Amino acid sequence: YIFRKLIKSDQIPSIEELEDMLHGGQLSCNHVDEVWPNLFLGDMYMSHDRYALWRLGITHVLNAAHGKMCCKGSDDFYGTTVKYYGVPANDLPTFDISPFFYPSAHYIHDALSTTGAKVFVHCAVGVSRSAALVLAYLMIYCNYSLVDAILKVKERRWIFPNRGFLKQLIILNNELNYKAQSK
């Protein structure tokens, strides 16, 4: 009930309300789930399985844990048929992931604007860093509110961005609302 109320009233949810919302819905996830047409969200296990990515038709990879011990990735690893973009984010509430919102959203948008492209966004587990970047994409390019973006992704995958990322997504939500109202 509270989430429908938030959606209708355009109120900005608190961190606690967002976390309550994130606890519900889809309670598990696979190594990879399609959360938007041709946009896949997953974990490091899937990121290391080039054959499975090839079978899915993945043409672009966005690694939200680039350079971290478990998620080292590069253009060389995926070869010439897959474009690679790395974001060196730490999954800590103190890490500022917001400078990566627009570049990552742009990368996803450009890729999905290409006929036949499929994008795989991942981090170590596929629920915090990568989920935050997918939510930002839906907010920036698909005009979703943060609440709507969370609900959309949760139809297909359990996600749980850390509190710091949620705060930064709330700020992004506010900025996008302000821009929309200023037009």
Sheet bearing 83-86, strands edge to edge: 32-36, 39-42, 119-122, 60-63, 83-86
Q: Cβ distance 122 to 62 under 8 Å?
A: yes
Which residues are designated catalytic? 123
Q: Encoding tokens for residue 170?
A: 């709330």
SS3 state of residue 35: strand
Closest CA to 77 of 56, 61, 100, 55: 61
